[in-house]
Chains A and B, each alone.
Chain A
C-alpha cells in the first residue's frame, strides 16, 4: 500500500507544479520553461534552512515560498517585455544553470545533493511514511488549486487571457499589462517554489536530479496532456503522467529502473501526438459564463445612448468657426520619422466636443500613424498632444485610454479566444477584480462589479447588433461581426473621445449603413469622434470637419464639401482624371 501512497504523494506535488505552470502557459501566454529552476530554489532553500540553520521544516517551507516570489520578480522584470522566444530561452537556460550550479557547488551537496533532511512535523505528528504525507499534501494541493482557480477564473484571469491573446488590445482599453504579468509570474514562481520545497521534504533530499530539465518537460507534458487553460485538466494531467510509472511496473513487470527509463519515451510520443491531434488536451478549455445583474442587459438609456439620431445640422450652420464647440484634443506640430522616412511632419489638428472629425488622405499619408502617436503607442519625435488642456504627449497607451481617449484598430485586435461578451466586458474597469489582493479579500465587490459589467456588455452588444449571449469565441465569428464586437468594445470604455481607424473597411451592404448610424448615435450622446476612413460617401455623411493629409502633413481643412470642391485635393486623393 505504501507503494501506491508514494505515487499519490508525488502526483499531489506535481499537480501543484502543473497548475501553476498552466496559469503562466495557458492563461497568461507566458512561455516559461523554468518550472524546475524555481522549484529548485524552493527546495534548496528548505534544505539549507532545515539542515544548516536548524529551522523547523514548516517555517523553512514558508521562507522558501517567499524566496520563490523574490526570484520570480527578479527574473520577470527584464524578460517579460521580450518576445516569446526569448522568454523560453531565458527560462530554459535558467533551468540548465540551476543544475550546473547545484551540481558544481560543494556547499549545495554537488551532484549527490543535500541529504538527511528531518521529517516535517504537523500538529505534533511526524510525517514519516508516504501515507503520513497524504492528508497534508491533499490540503496544500487543494489550497494551491483554489488559488490558481480564483486567479484564472476571475476578472483578473479574464485580463490575463486577453493579454495572452492581444497585449496591445488590452492596453488600448486602459489596462497596464506589465504589472499584471509580473505579479502572475512571481506568484506562480512562489507556488512552484512551495512545491519544490515539498518535494524535498517528502524525499528527504535536495538533489540536482529532482530538478533536472527533464522534470520541467514532465510538468509541461502534464499541462499539455491535461489541457491548456484548464485547472482541473492540469490536475488530471499530473495524476495520469505520474501513474504511468506504477502502471508500467505492475502490468509489464518492469523494474523501477527500467520503467523510469521507458517513461520519457511514452511521454515524449504522447506529447507529440496530443499537440498534433488533440491540441486542447483531455479537458477542453472552458470558462465560466459571466453572470449579469437580475434583469439581464441594461437599456440603451442607462448606457447613455439614445435610439434616435438627430437630424444632421445644416452644413451652413456649422461653418462659422466662432460657433463651433470647444476643442477637447489639441495636437500641435507633431512629427515622427522612421529611419529616413518622415511619416508625420509637423501635424496640427483639433478635435471638438461632440463633433465627428475625419482624417482624409491617400494610403500612406500617415493617418494611422497619427492615431499611434496621439495614443502613445509610438513616441513622437517632436510636438505636443493636449487632452482637455493636459499634456499627454509621452504617456503610455493605457494611461491615455484611462484619460478618456480610446482607439479602435484597423486589424481589430479583439481577443479571439474570449467570447464577444468577455471582449466587451474588458472595456470596463473592475478595480477590485483586477487587483489580485482584492480578488481574495473582497470577493463580493468583485462579483458585484462583474455583474454590472456583464449587463452593460450585453447592452453594448445588442446596440451594435451582435447576438449578446453567443458563446462561440470572438475569433470564430465572421469578419464583419468581429468588427462589431471591436466597436462595441471601444464604446464600452465610455471614453469621451473615440478614434476609429477605418470603421467601414471589410463590411458592405446594409452593414455599412448600420455602422454609420451607430457612429451618429454616439455623436448624439455628446462624444467626440475622429475617423480615418476612405469612403468619401461615408465621410460626407458623418464628418462635421475634415483634415486632408498628404505625406504626413495636413494640407487642407474644412467641411468635407469645401474639400471636395477643391480640384487639386480631389486629384491628390483620387488621382487626376487623365
Chain B
C-alpha cells in the first residue's frame, strides 16, 4: 500500500512512459510524498525506540496499528461516537495494549540469556499478532472484511501553480508532523531525552544513577503504541480498516528504523521516514502502485548488502583518514 497513490496513478504502460518524461509532476509528488511520509516518521520513531532502547523485536506493532484502525472505525461506524473521540479512544486502547504486552509478555522473557530472549520475544509477538488479528476478524470483520472510518470529508485543496493537496493530507502533515516535531524537541532538549539516551547506551549504568529502565520501557511502549493507534485510525479514514492493514506499515517503519541506524537521533529517523514516503510516492511513476513495496524492499536490501560487505565501515575509515 502507499499513501496518496490516488494522485498520478499511471494506468497503462504508455501513460507511465509519458509520466516518466513529465517531470512537472515532481513537485506534486513531493507534496503528496511528505503527507505519506509523516505517519511513517511517527511509526519509525516508535519502532526505533522499541527496538533500540527497550530491545524488543516487537512484531506485534503491526497488529497495534490494525487495532487502532478497528477501534476508531467500529466506534464511529457502529456506535456513532464522534470521530475525534474514536481516534482518541483508539490511541488509549492501543497504548494500554502496548503497555500490557511489555509488562506481561515481554518483560519476563527479556531476562533469558542473549539470543534466547530475542527469539522468544519475537515468537510471542508472532503469537500475539496471530491471535489478536484473528480475534479482530471474528469480532468486527465477520460480515465485511473492511470497515470505513468517516473522519472527515476528504476534499481536494488547491495550492496554486496547479498543485493541490487534500484534507486528509493536511491532517496527516499537521498531526503526524506535529507529533514528530514534539518527539524531536523533547528527546533533544529535555531531561527525558537524556534519560532515554542513557538507557539506550547502558541500562546498567542508568540503573546505577537511579533511572529504572523498566519504567522507561513502559513509557516507550505506551507512547509508541498510542501513536501507532492514531496512525491506524488515520489509515482507516484514508482507506478502510482491514485485518491485515498493519503489516505493510510495520514493514515500512522497520525499514525507516533500520535505515536511520540503531543510535539514530530522532530527527534523522523523521527525515528518513519522510524520505521513504516521498520515494514510495515517486516510485509510482515507474512501477504499478501495488508494487511500491518492492522499492522499499530494494532500498533495504541494497543497504543491508552494503552493510554486510562492510562498505559503510570502510567509508567511515576513509572519512577519518
Contact = CB atoms under 8 A, between A and B. Distances in A.
Interface of A: 25, 29, 31, 78-79, 81-82, 84-86, 88-90, 92-94, 96-97, 100-101, 104, 213-214, 217, 220-221, 224, 261-265, 267-272, 275-276, 279, 339
Contacts of B307: 82
Listed from nearest, the 10 A-B pairs whose CB atoms lie closest are: A268-B131, A271-B127, A268-B130, A264-B134, A78-B305, A272-B127, A268-B127, A104-B290, A264-B130, A81-B308
Interface string B92-129: 00000000000001001100100110111011101111
> Chain A's interface: helix, strand, loop or mixed, by majority?
helix
B294 interface: yes
A94 to B, nearest CB: 8
B219 interface: no
Contacts of A276: 105, 108-109, 120, 124
B320 interface: yes
Nearest to B320: A339
Interface stretch (B35-43, B225-233, B247-255): B247-255
A339 B316 CA distance: 9
A261 B134 contact: yes
Nearest to B126: A217
B132 interface: yes
A455 B51 CA distance: 46
A538 to B, nearest CB: 31
Contacts of B297: 93-94, 97
Given A90-B304, A96-B248, A275-B120, A101 B130 contact: no
Interface string B293-321: 11001001100110110000000000010
Contact of A217 (B115, B130, B288, B304): B130
Contacts of B132: 268
Contacts of B294: 97, 100-101
B135 interface: yes
Nearest to A104: B290
A219 to B, nearest CB: 11
A259 to B, nearest CB: 11
B291 interface: yes
A220 B290 CA distance: 28
A429 B81 CA distance: 71
A279 B118 contact: no
Given A97-B294, A276-B108, A279-B120, A271 B126 contact: yes
13 contacts: A84-B119, A96-B251, A97-B294, A100-B294, A213-B247, A220-B123, A261-B137, A264-B130, A265-B134, A268-B130, A268-B134, A269-B127, A269-B131
B217 interface: no
A79 B128 CA distance: 27
B176 interface: no
Given A78-B304, A262-B138, A29 B115 contact: yes
A25 B307 CA distance: 23
A81 B305 CA distance: 9
Contacts of A339: 320
Contacts of B169: none
A265 B135 contact: yes
A555 to B, nearest CB: 27
B258 interface: yes
A181 to B, nearest CB: 13
Contacts of B123: 220, 224, 271, 275
> Chain B's interface: helix, strand, loop or mixed, by majority?
helix
B301 A90 contact: yes
A146 to B, nearest CB: 27
A271 B134 contact: no
Contact of B258 (A89, A217, A220, A263): A89
Contacts of B135: 265
Given A82-B308, A276-B108, A262 B127 contact: no
A84 B128 CA distance: 20
A214 B130 contact: yes
A39 to B, nearest CB: 17
Contact of A100 (B122, B130, B291): B291
A89 B254 contact: yes
Interface in B252-267: 254, 258
B221 interface: no
B130 A271 contact: yes
Contacts of A221: 126-127, 130
A261 B145 CA distance: 13
A349 B126 CA distance: 54
Contacts of B59: 92
Contacts of B70: none
A217 B134 CA distance: 13
B150 to A, nearest CB: 27
A31 B297 CA distance: 18
Given A85-B51, A97-B293, A100-B290, 10 more contacts: A82-B304, A101-B291, A104-B288, A220-B123, A261-B134, A264-B130, A265-B130, A268-B130, A268-B132, A272-B128
B32 to A, nearest CB: 21
Contacts of B116: 279
A267 B131 contact: yes
Contacts of A272: 105, 124, 127-128, 131
B25 to A, nearest CB: 23
Interface string B255-290: 000100000000000000000000000000000101
Contacts of A86: 258, 304
B119, B129, B291, B297 — most chain A CB neighbours (10 Å): B119
A97 B248 CA distance: 10
A276 B129 CA distance: 16
Contacts of B122: 31, 88
B118 A93 contact: no
Contact of B124 (A78, A89, A271): A271
A535 to B, nearest CB: 28
Given A88-B122, A270-B127, A275-B124, A263 B134 contact: yes
B57 interface: yes
B300 A93 contact: yes
Contacts of A220: 123, 126
Given A96-B251, A261-B134, A275 B293 contact: no
B118 A85 contact: yes
Contacts of A271: 123-124, 126-127, 130
A275 B120 CA distance: 6
B127 A275 contact: yes
Given A97-B294, A261-B138, A339-B320, A90 B300 contact: yes
B256 to A, nearest CB: 12
B130 A79 contact: no
Nearest to A78: B305
A137 to B, nearest CB: 26
Nearest to B122: A88
B320 to A, nearest CB: 7
Contacts of B138: 261-262, 265
A207 to B, nearest CB: 15
A84 B291 CA distance: 26
Contacts of A96: 247-248, 251, 293
B125 to A, nearest CB: 9
A88 B250 CA distance: 13
A270 B248 CA distance: 26
Contacts of B128: 268, 272
A81 B105 CA distance: 30
A24 B187 CA distance: 40
A79 B293 contact: no
A233 to B, nearest CB: 15
